[in-house]
């Protein structure tokens, strides 16, 4: 069997092109340019790269982005004050706090402080609740990216057994929520696995669609995958200076029906979905 290699780079580029057209149309109708305010605390080099990529993507899509760099010794109170300013600033539509934050700042308190109407990462409890109820305001970026890849690759999800490996608030749980919803590219029967799951291999081998999001390089081997399964690899791990996923691509690609590579699979979709949420936030603001 030769697996379909899902080209996330290409699908993300197409998605962003479409989005740029929507942004232009929205601007013509309302005079509003969607504006993403990104906050970066500290000097983490990987975070700096992520934020720069988000800025560039905004510019390409015709959106405004502003980067607000704060020193690593910034207090939680100072950060909360900045968020409050952006919450109140009607020219800012989306607020992004780049993670991780320095250890002395409590992440949850900071993420909860972003007003739900500008929460383009979909981390706020109100937005997570709306998502859980099947009436999302914003889409969780990385999981939504996986869903769009499935859709654009013509993969039928309805009635399939999807196994999500990982239960984080950013990827695993919202991924499961999207796949189990009533609606397009959903209606799956979903199992969530984590580090305490017993007989993991037996569970993953039942998956028609396997989403790996655990942050362990090459963890998913061929014996964990049912022949013909769709394998979506969210993992981004650096091994000897090379990026690898959570799936052992060389082993699994020959038995999968479709698979995402790393890099060039799920990764590029996350930013595209962030832009989509920023446009949604601007639309919400325009409605008043
Ligand atoms: N493509 C993108 O844009 C994107 C975005 C976000 C994250 N990522 C990548 O996706 C991966 C996961 O990220 P994350 O933020 O979800 O990570 P995380 O918060 O560290 O969560 C990892 C999850 O995997 C589970 N896990 C760890 N080891 C396991 C094992 N041996 N067997 C079964 N489950 C195991 C953990 O279980 P417990 O809950 O029991 O500890 C946890 O639920 C990372 O490589 C990250 O870099 C990529």
DSSP per residue, 137-153: SS--HHHHHHHHHHHHT
CA distance 265 to 269: 8
Task: Determine the Cα–Cα distance for residues 194 and 185; give it in Å rounded to an integer.
Answer: 24
**Other CB atoms within 10 A of residue 109 CB:** 11
Return the best residue to mutate from 171, 219, 247, 274 for the ligand 1 pocket (most ligand atoms within 8 A of CB). Answer: 171
According to DSSP, residue 41 is labeled: E
Main-chain dihedrals φ then ψ at residue 29, nearest 5 degrees: -75, -35
166 contacts 212 by C-beta, under 8 angstroms: yes
Which residues have a Cβ under 8 Å from the Cβ of 48 and sit 6 or more positions away?
40
Which residues are identified as catalytic?
54, 98, 121
| 47 annotated ligand binder | no
Quick check: CB of 167 below 6 Å from ligand 1? yes
Given this model, what pLDDT does residue 257 score?
98
Tell how far the Cα of 168 is from the centroid of ligand 1, in angstroms: 6
Ligand 1 pocket residue status of 264, Cβ below 6 Å: no
- Determine which helix (DSSP H) or strand (DSSP E) holds 189, and give its type and residue range: strand 189-193
Cα distances from 126 to residues 27, 118, 154, 170, 179, in angstroms, run: 28, 12, 32, 15, 19
- Gap from CA of 170 to ligand 1 centroid (Å): 9
Class of 31-119 in CATH: alpha beta
Q: In angstroms, how far is CA 21 from the centroid of its own chain?
A: 22
Asked if residue 34 has its Cβ within 6 Å of ligand 1, the reply is no
pLDDT at 23: 98
Q: Which atom of ligand 1 is nearest to the CA of 172?
A: 16
How many C-beta atoms lie closer than 10 Å to residue 113's C-beta?
Answer: 19
Span from the CA of 194 to the centroid of ligand 1 (angstroms): 9
Q: Which atom of ligand 1 is nearest to the CA of 165?
A: 34
Ligand 1 center–CA 212 separation, angstroms: 8
CATH topology of domain 141-266: Rossmann fold (3.40.50)
Per DSSP, what are the bridge partners of residue 165? 193, 212
Is residue 230 within 8 Å of residue 209, measured between CB atoms? Answer: yes
Which ligand 1 atom is nearest residue 245's CA? 45
Answer whether 232's CB lies under 8 Å from 149's CB.
yes
**CA 57, CA 271: separation in Å to the nearest integer?**
7
Answer yes or no: is the C-beta of 193 below 6 A from any ligand 1 atom.
yes
pLDDT along the chain (288 residues), means of 10: 93 98 98 98 93 95 97 98 98 97 98 98 98 97 98 98 98 98 98 98 98 98 98 97 97 98 97 98 96
Ligand 1 and 232: CB distance under 6 A: no
Strand partners, 258: 4, 230
Beta-carbon contacts of 111 under 8 Å, excluding residues fewer than 6 positions away, are: 97, 121, 123, 124
E strand segments, 15-160: 35-41, 64-70, 94-97
Q: What is the Cβ-side half-sphere exposure of residue 160, based on CA atoms within 13 angstroms?
A: 23
Distance CA 45, CA 237 (A): 15
**Could you check whether 31-119 and 141-266 share the same CATH topology?**
yes
Name which residue sits closest to atom 30 of ligand 1, judged by CA: 195
So where are the chain's domains? 31-119, 141-266
| 237 pocket-lining for ligand 1 (C-beta < 6 Å) | yes
* CB of 171 closer than 6 angstroms to any ligand 1 atom: yes
270's enclosing H/E stretch is helix 267-287
């Amino acid at each position: 069997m030769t697996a379909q290699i899902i080209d996330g780079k290409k699908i993300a580029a197409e998605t962003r092109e479409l989005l740029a057209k929507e942004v232009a149309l929205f601007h013509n109708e309302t005079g509003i340019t969607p504006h993403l305010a990104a906050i970066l605390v500290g000097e983490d080099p990987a975070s700096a790269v992520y934020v720069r990529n988000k800025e560039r993507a905004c510019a390409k899509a015709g959106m405004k982005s502003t980067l607000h760099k704060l020193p690593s010794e910034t207090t939680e109170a100072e950060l909360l004050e900045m968020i409050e300013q952006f919450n109140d600033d009607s020219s800012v539509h989306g607020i992004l706090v780049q993670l991780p934050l320095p250890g002395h700042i409590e992440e949850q308190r900071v993420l909860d402080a972003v007003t739900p109407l500008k929460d383009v990462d979909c981390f706020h409890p109100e937005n997570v609740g709306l998502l859980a109820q099947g009436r999302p305001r914003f889409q969780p970026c990385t999981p939504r990216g996986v869903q769009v890849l499935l859709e654009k690759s013509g993969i039928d999800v309805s009635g399939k057994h999807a196994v999500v490996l990982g239960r984080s608030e950013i990827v695993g749980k919202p991924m499961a929520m999207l796949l189990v919803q009533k609606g397009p590219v959903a209606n799956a029967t979903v199992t969530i696995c984590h580090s305490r799951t017993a007989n993991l291999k037996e569970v993953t081998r039942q998956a028609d669609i396997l989403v790996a999001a655990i942050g362990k390089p090459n963890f998913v081997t061929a014996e964990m995958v049912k022949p013909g399964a769709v394998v979506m690899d969210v993992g981004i791990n650096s091994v000897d200076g090379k990026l690898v996923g959570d799936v052992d691509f060389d082993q699994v690609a020959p038995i999968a029906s479709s698979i995402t590579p790393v890099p060039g699979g799920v990764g590029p979709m996350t930013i595209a979905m962030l832009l989509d949420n920023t446009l949604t936030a601007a639309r919400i603001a325009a409605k008043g």
